């Protein structure tokens, strides 16, 4: 039985600009066939085990001919697979979707065309240029600029196009900008007509070059302005100085590698996006319930003694979450802890406890184990009992300190942090091209596992390859690990919180922007 093909518009580049239906097609597909202009972040939404095939095209270098792409879609569908064909922007605007759909129909294969947000409109919008404006333009034309001048000479009726609409949008025409400008001037547009070129709009590499029909070619040459770019011709370009907004966001132009587990990364990713940055998720750890029989017995034993503890120290959000998971699985009652003083390390841990109806003691000033000693050292008395629900990677400092003071300490591994990483060719390309601008580390294990994962993927010296990327750590312990691995001048958030990390990223970008 033949499969089905979804011809999906992937939007202009920012992964959030995919349509709801387009995202659903990616999540459902057995195979995703994608091109250069589709955001690699969209591939993170593929279901486990799905195949991805790159068929992208670069200037003067095609990975696969269009005819071969058409046939590939047919062959995959005939194998009974559900296929999502991701095409940058909207598939019906210079996306050659008609050719792909025609061959699918000839072979009796069901397909759907899923519209996308076209870069012709969205990319100028991200540069602060509305393609229509009541005072400047009430109509627009979208024109290919990608063909050779000889082809454009015959395919475009310049005498009609030049004055047809207030705004002219040329797609993929950077290499032909001189020819386009001369044709427009020749057929009646003023040499002083404003022009804007917006490269990689909506992505971290977004850059805008403005000029006029008379001087834009020389500006492209002087700045070595490279494709892909959308060209906007018309008075609407004058709105850019008033309306540009993306460049004003605190993290604009920065691609930030997020290494924490996918289940915990969402808040950090959302904050980076809200502030104009482009997060690149590459989770190198995940947490899970302990699997060894010994750990399971230790947890069960510790949880049967809840009523006997004088203190319970939660040192992470994970510790809280997995404690309650075990509480549920073992059929225990939280009221058994009514005699214990419950302390959280860090505001996020405190909030997680409060969300579950437990108010923590006052927070230590320092959000780490040493802070507990400073805040509660005088109240910790020999003979008292302490319960430490923690992970397998937790430091030994706190239980050793407590035992030295004569307290009875019960530790239980409530969760395990394990290394994970998928092969990610897109990440390797970004690293090799120096397009990762900052890395966030939220634990020592994220440092170790990132280096190990990149090494397994074939990067000989990951730390050197990332030497131009700023390194931001959630706390001094993580920063020390980063420095031990060779990451230089690791930044440390003022507080061990995601909010503080974001604040540090914004300060860093402000400083580096001022320096340049």
For β-strands 385-391 and 408-419, DSSP reports them as parallel
- Within 13 Å and on the Cβ side, how many CA atoms surround 231? 29
181 vs 184: CA distance, rounded Å: 5
Q: Would you state the structure tokens that stand for residue 54, as one six-digit string? A: 């790159």
Ramachandran class of 4: left when φ > 0, alpha when ψ lies in -120 to 50, beta otherwise: beta
159 vs 66: CA distance, rounded Å: 31
* Gyration radius of the chain's alpha carbons: 28
The beta strands (E) that lie in 125-237 are given as: 140-144, 167-171, 194-199, 207-212, 229-233
Comparing CA positions, the residue from 329, 303, 326 lying closest to residue 416 is 326
SS3 content of the chain, % helix, strand, coil (to 5): 45, 20, 35
Q: Would you state the structure tokens that stand for residue 268, as one six-digit string? A: 């950090």
Phi, psi (rounded to 5 degrees) for 360: -75, 160
Contact status, residue 81 vs residue 111, Cβ threshold 8 Å? no
Q: Which of 46, 171, 172, 303 is catalytic?
A: 172
Give the position of tokens 């999502």. 84
Ramachandran class of 407: left when φ > 0, alpha when ψ lies in -120 to 50, beta otherwise: beta
Collapsing DSSP states into helix, strand and coil, what is residue 476? helix
190 vs 19: CA distance, rounded Å: 39
Contact status, residue 124 vs residue 131, Cβ threshold 8 Å? yes
Identify the DSSP state of 49: T
Contact status, residue 74 vs residue 107, Cβ threshold 8 Å? yes
Please say if 57 is a catalytic residue.
Answer: yes
Give 375's contacts (C-beta < 8 A, 6+ positions apart): 362, 363, 364, 365
Q: Would you state the structure tokens that stand for residue 385, as one six-digit string? A: 């009992």
123 vs 486: CA distance, rounded Å: 39
Give 422's contacts (C-beta < 8 A, 6+ positions apart): none
Contact status, residue 38 vs residue 55, Cβ threshold 8 Å? no
Q: Which of 14, 30, 35, 424 is catalytic?
A: 35
Please say if 429 is a catalytic residue.
Answer: no
Q: Which of 52, 57, 244, 332 is catalytic?
A: 57
CA angle at residue 104 from 99 to 106, to 5 degrees? 95
> Which residues is 198 bridged to in the sheet?
208, 230
Comparing CA positions, the residue from 188, 108, 110, 180 lying closest to residue 145 is 180
Please say if 172 is a catalytic residue.
Answer: yes
Catalytic residues: 35, 57, 172
């Amino acid at each position: 039985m033949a499969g089905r093909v979804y011809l999906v518009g992937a939007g202009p580049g920012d992964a959030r600009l995919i349509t709801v239906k387009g995202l659903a097609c990616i999540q459902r597909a057995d195979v995703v066939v994608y091109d250069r202009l589709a955001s690699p972040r969209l591939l993170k939404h593929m279901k486990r085990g799905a195949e991805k095939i790159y068929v992208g095209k670069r200037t003067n270098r095609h990975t696969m001919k269009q005819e071969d792409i058409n046939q590939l879609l047919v062959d995959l569908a005939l194998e009974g697979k559900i296929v999502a064909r991701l095409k940058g922007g909207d598939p019906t605007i210079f996306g050659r979707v008609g050719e792909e759909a025609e061959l699918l129909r000839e072979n009796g294969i069901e397909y759907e065309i899923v519209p996308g947000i076209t870069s012709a409109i969205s990319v100028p919008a991200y540069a602060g240029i509305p393609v229509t404006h009541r005072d400047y333009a009430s109509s627009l034309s979208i024109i290919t600029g990608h063909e050779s001048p000889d082809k454009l000479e015959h395919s475009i009726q310049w005498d009609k196009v030049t004055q047809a609409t207030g705004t002219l949008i040329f797609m993929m025409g950077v290499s032909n900008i001189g020819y386009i400008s001369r044709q427009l001037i020749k057929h009646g547009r003023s040499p002083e007509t404003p022009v804007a070129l917006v490269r990689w709009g909506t992505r971290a590499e977004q850059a805008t070059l403005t000029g006029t029909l008379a001087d834009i070619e020389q500006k492209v040459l002087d700045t070595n302005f490279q494709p892909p770019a959308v060209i906007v011709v018309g008075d609407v370009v004058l709105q850019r100085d008033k309306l540009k907004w993306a460049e004003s966001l605190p993290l604009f132009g920065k691609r930030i590698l997020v290494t924490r587990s996918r289940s915990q990364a969402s808040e950090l990713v959302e904050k980076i996006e809200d502030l104009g940055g482009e997060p690149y998720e590459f989770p190198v750890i995940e947490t899970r319930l302990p699997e060894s029989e010994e750990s399971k017995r230790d947890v069960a034993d510790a949880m049967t003694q809840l009523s006997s503890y004088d203190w319970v120290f939660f040192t992470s959000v994970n510790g809280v979450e997995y404690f309650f998971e075990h509480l549920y699985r073992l059929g225990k009652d939280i009221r058994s802890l009514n005699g214990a003083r419950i302390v959280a390390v860090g505001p996020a841990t405190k909030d997680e406890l409060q969300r579950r109806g437990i108010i923590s003691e006052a927070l230590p000033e320092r959000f780490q184990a040493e802070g507990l000693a400073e805040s509660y050292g005088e109240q910790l008395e020999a003979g008292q009992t302490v319960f430490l629900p923690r992970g397998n990677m937790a430091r030994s400092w706190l239980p050793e300190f407590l035992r030295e003071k004569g307290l009875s300490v019960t530790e239980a591994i409530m969760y395990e942090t394990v290394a994970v990483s998928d092969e990610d060719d897109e990440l390797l390309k970004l690293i090799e091209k120096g397009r990762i601008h900052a890395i966030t580390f939220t634990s020592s294990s994220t440092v170790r596992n990132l280096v190990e994962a990149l090494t397994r993927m074939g990067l000989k010296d990951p730390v050197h390859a990332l030497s131009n990327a700023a390194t931001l750590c959630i706390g001094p312990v993580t920063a020390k690990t980063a420095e031990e691995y060779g990451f230089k001048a690791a930044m440390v958030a003022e507080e061990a919180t995601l909010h503080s990390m974001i604040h540090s990223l914004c300060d860093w970008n402000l400083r580096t922007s001022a320096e340049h």
